Structure 1
Amino acid sequence: MRAFSYDRPDGVDAALRAVAGQAESGSPGSAQPPVKFVAGGTNLLDLMKADVMRPDRLVDISRLGLDGIEETDGGGLRLGALARNADTAYDERVSTRYPMLSKAILAGASAQLRNMATNGGNLLQRTRCYYFYDTGTPCNKREPGTGCGAIGGVNRIHAILGASDQCIAVHPSDMCVALAALEAEVRVTGPRGERVIPFAEFHRLPGDTPQIDSTLAADELITAIDLPPQGFAAHSTYLKVRDRASYAFALVSVAAALELEGANGATIRSARLALGGVAHKPWRDREVEAELAGKPASLETFRDAARLLLREAKGRSHNAFKIGLAERAIVRALAEAAGVEHP
């Protein structure tokens, strides 16, 4: 690990002043920003040890008082950016009203990591691509312009949707997939004031700038994540398919939420569907969700939705199996959410 300086500000304003002038004001993050916020450090410190991230300065924000979980005036829930993942998952309001989110958090990482990792940090974690972590190989996300080693290399865990010829890495978070399905909002603050970013607009697809993961500016700080009143508590699930049941990242994951109506809940009134492990960001397709509305909650409907959602999926030499795996996972998750028996 390279030498760095360390600050621990005593408030949000002090934290923002600590990065002022060292981050590119008003622009999203670069491949090697000179200063980084650190809280739980469960991802950043690993990247620094591997020499993937090389900040000159760390600003410790772990004691800024942003660790509460509170009711909002609109009937939703506000998750503090510095609340630990474990505390969030086990909070009774989260587990009761947003069970899909609680299940997603508990499916991610290990208990030890969840006890340290923060909600804000979860949103900002970097990809687990082999080539991103290996500084001896080309990676446009780590060093723009060097190429993507995964495209012609080992790409079993990589993207089947939304990739570009610059990067085929996937976002690793479980929590973010559920937040995408819930249509959460990310509250941030910076030198230009506070703003709210709809979750669908927070993460980016790689395009020509895969080193930029999100629309958060380099001099902005996440303060909270707002959950809407509708948590789909009655009919939702989070399904994660991975190589082993213990600590492992998703090959494919599905956050499925349904609002049912009619006799015995036989008809879909509205649907939310988000995929993880398949793209550079949690993947949603509102066209598919709209197609589900008014349809019977049946395996046939769910199979049609899965095929439509994956219509543009592209497999590569090692990950083509993900397309069929994702199709089956979507059907199973929707069936579980609807309470429909499935094979």
Structure 2
Amino acid sequence: MKPFAYLRPGSVAEAVRAGAENPGARFLGGGTNLVDLMKLGVETPGLLIDVSRLPLDHVTRTEDGGLRVGATVRNSDLAARPEVRADYPVLSQALLAGASGQLRNAATTGGNLLQRTRCPYFQDISKPCNKRSPGSGCSAREGVHRDLAVLGHSPDCVATNPSDMAVALAALDATVRLEGPEGERTVPVTGFHRLPGDNPDQDTVVRPGELITEVVLPPRPDGSASLYRKARDRASYAFALASVAAVLAVRDGRVAHASLAFGGLAHRPWRARAAEDLLRGAPAGPETFARAVDAELEAARPLRDNGFKVDLARRLALGVLTELASPAG
């Protein structure tokens, strides 16, 4: 690990100012991903700005009945909150599906959103990787890519986003609040992470010096239920081969509300807009669900060794929608 400077700011304003004045600086929360990448030589910040003790650990109700979640709230604490378990079970389930208990006790809401891909070529500095070193090439396209993207990838990158939490937040229409040198702004979670395109080194739309301060969840849609389901190679402590987060409301046998997001398939949580358009107002049954999910996954472009992920995601989505539409759902 290369030497670095360390700063513990006393306020959000001080943290943002330090980030803006020191290009290449990194904000440190739980450090569960960043420190590992520093040990591997992937991340080499000259300055770590420790934001873990800033007053950003709140979970409070919004005026309209939604929820504000501070950037330094620990994943395990958020998953256990009664209001999260009651109104946003998909989020609690997604958090508990990620990592291990020890890591969830350290990982933060903001850090979870900013964690970087687990593509083995990104983590190996001896291999070409456009995400790590733009213009060097993508080793994964013709290499080991079983776990990598089938949706939204580009010739320059086939990495996937590793977050479980972000998939649930995408289905919940959450927003991210950022504080930066130019003030505060809000970004939908669905637009927070980027597809790789020609610039796979840019994971998110976060600007230099900007700090995540909180995530805001809208009120739960009337009569809705939600669910997260994840398929992985082993029962715990493994990233998703495919995952699904869904929020569904059924009235008089028809879909009144539907939001659906896939994980493990793309460079960002994949919000299934095509599927949602076919679900809303349609009969809540197997034929509708199959037609909607198939329409979404028509966009998939699997690589040599990961075509199985398309069928895996389809089965997960159909199972989740069927369970949510059942009377006990």
- Judge same fold: TM > 0.5, yes or no: yes
TM-superposed deviation, 1:285? 2.7
2:150 is paired with a residue whose SS is coil
What's the CA shift string for 1:119-139, capped at 9, x where partnerless? 000000000001000111110
In structure 2, C-alpha distance between the alignment counterparts of 1:119 and 1:233, rounded to whole Å: 27
Match of 2:225 in 1: 235
TM-superposed deviation, 1:21? 2.2
Of the candidates 285, 307, 324, which is equivalent to residue 337 of structure 1?
Answer: 324
Match of 2:104 in 1: 114
1:316 is paired with a residue whose SS is coil
Match of 2:129 in 1: 139
Amino acid at match of 1:12: V
TM-superposed deviation, 1:57? 0.9
1:259 is paired with a residue whose SS is strand
Match of 2:19 in 1: 19
Match of 1:317 in 2: 304
In structure 2, C-alpha distance between the alignment counterparts of 1:207 and 1:139, rounded to whole Å: 14
Q: Is 1:295 matched with 2:282?
A: yes
Report if aligned partners of 2:262, 2:272 keep a CA contact under 8 Å in 1. no
Task: Map residues 31-180 of structure 1 onto 2, 5 A cutoff.
Answer: 34-180=24-170
Amino acid at match of 1:339: S
Q: CA, structure 1 residues 267+180, in 2 after alignment: closer, same or farther (shift >3 Å)?
A: same
TM-superposed deviation, 1:287? 2.6
Match of 2:245 in 1: 255
Match of 1:270 in 2: 257
Report if aligned partners of 1:98, 1:233 keep a CA contact under 8 Å in 2. no
TM-superposed deviation, 1:302? 1.2
TM-superposed deviation, 1:330? 1.1
Q: TM-score, normalised by structure 1?
A: 0.93
List alignment gaps of at least 5 residues for structure 2: none
Match of 1:182 in 2: 172
Amino acid at match of 2:91: L
In structure 2, C-alpha distance between the alignment counterparts of 1:304 and 1:281, rounded to whole Å: 24
Report if aligned partners of 1:236, 1:336 keep a CA contact under 8 Å in 2. no
Amino acid at match of 2:264: G
Amino acid at match of 1:279: A
List alignment gaps of at least 5 residues for structure 1: 24-33
* Structure 1 residue runs of 4 or more that deviate by more than 6 Å after TM superposition: none
Residue range with higher mean Cα deviation, 294-303 or 158-167: 294-303
In structure 2, C-alpha distance between the alignment counterparts of 1:125 and 1:199, rounded to whole Å: 14
Amino acid at match of 2:80: Y
Report if aligned partners of 2:274, 2:292 keep a CA contact under 8 Å in 1. no
The total of aligned residue pairs comes to: 329
Task: Map residues 277-288 of structure 1 onto 2, 5 A cutoff.
Answer: 277-288=264-275
What's the CA shift string for 1:16-43, capped at 9, x where partnerless? 12222223xxxxxxxxxx2111010000
What's the CA shift string for 1:248-293, capped at 9, x where partnerless? 000000001111101xxx2111210000000000001323201101
Match of 1:3 in 2: 3
In structure 2, C-alpha distance between the alignment counterparts of 1:120 and 1:225, rounded to whole Å: 8
Amino acid at match of 1:122: N
TM-superposed deviation, 1:47? 0.1
1:205 is paired with a residue whose SS is coil
What's the CA shift string for 1:158-210, capped at 9, x where partnerless? 00000000000000000000000000010111111111111111110000000
Report if aligned partners of 1:99, 1:233 keep a CA contact under 8 Å in 2. no
| Percent identity between the two aligned chains | 53
Match of 1:203 in 2: 193
2:215 is paired with a residue whose SS is strand
2:314 is paired with a residue whose SS is helix
Amino acid at match of 2:187: I
In structure 1, C-alpha distance between the alignment counterparts of 2:151 and 2:20, rounded to whole Å: 36
TM-superposed deviation, 1:10? 1.1
Report if aligned partners of 2:224, 2:250 keep a CA contact under 8 Å in 1. no
In structure 2, C-alpha distance between the alignment counterparts of 1:295 and 1:337, rounded to whole Å: 15
1:313 is paired with a residue whose SS is coil
2:9 is paired with a residue whose SS is coil
In structure 2, C-alpha distance between the alignment counterparts of 1:135 and 1:42, rounded to whole Å: 19
Amino acid at match of 1:303: A
TM-superposed deviation, 1:340? 7.2
